[in-house]
Amino acid sequence: MNKNFLFTQIGYTYLPTANIEGSSQWYEKYLGLKLIDKFDDRGSLIAILHYPHKHSIALVLVETTEHQPLSILRNGSPYPVLTMNCPNIEDTYQKLKEQGAEVQELHFIADGEAKYFYFKDDQGNLLEAAWSKWDPVDEVKENFLI
Write out pLDDT tens, residues 18-45: 999 999 999 999 999 999 999 999 999 9
The span from the CA of 47 to the CA of 132, in Å, is: 29
Number of neighbouring beta carbons within 10 Å of residue 110: 9
Distances (CA, A) of 27 to 37, 86, 134, 146: 14, 15, 25, 19
Tell me what pLDDT residue 2 has: 66
33: left (phi over 0), alpha (psi -120 to 50) or beta: beta
What mean pLDDT comes out for the span 123-130?
95
- The answer, yes or no, to whether residue 8 has pLDDT greater than 80, is no
The span from the CA of 93 to the CA of 107, in Å, is: 11
What mean pLDDT comes out for the span 86-115?
93
- The answer, yes or no, to whether residue 137 has pLDDT greater than 80, is no
Instruction: Flag whether the pTM goes above 0.95.
Output: no
Q: How many helices (H) and strands (E) does the chain have?
A: 2, 11
Q: Could you tell me which of 68, 65, 24, 31 has the C-alpha nearest to residue 47?
A: 24
141 Cα distance to chain centroid: 18
